[in-house]
């Protein structure tokens, strides 16, 4: 049983606002190549949508 979810899977649930790739696709660079890292806006948890119960209560 996997304890941790695949980071890439979680990130790819949404489209990227930076490179505008659709959900399910990896981030792309300006040249159209696969980016070495996901863009920051995409990896940042969205607290305003999705299920609020999944957000960590570390505050
Ligand atoms: Zn991106």
CA distances from 14 to 3, 29, 34, 41 (A): 22, 17, 16, 11
pLDDT at 1: 62
Q: Where are the domains of the chain?
A: 1-44
Tell me how far the alpha carbon of residue 46 lies from the centroid of ligand 1, in angstroms. 15
Q: What is the 3-state secondary structure (H, E, C) of 38-59?
A: CCHHHHCCCCCCCCHHHCCCCC
Cα 42 to ligand 1 centre (Å)? 7
- At 9 the pLDDT is 81
How much is the pLDDT for 6? 72
**pLDDT values of the chain reduced to their tens digit, one per residue, 59 residues:** 666 667 778 889 889 999 999 999 999 999 999 999 999 988 886 655 555 555 566 66
């Amino acid at each position: 049983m996997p304890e941790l979810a695949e980071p890439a899977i979680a990130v790819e649930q949404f489209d990227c606002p930076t490179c505008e790739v659709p959900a399910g696709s990896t981030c792309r660079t300006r040249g159209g190549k696969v980016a070495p890292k996901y863009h920051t806006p995409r990896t940042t948890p969205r607290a305003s949508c999705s299920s609020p119960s999944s957000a960590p209560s570390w505050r």
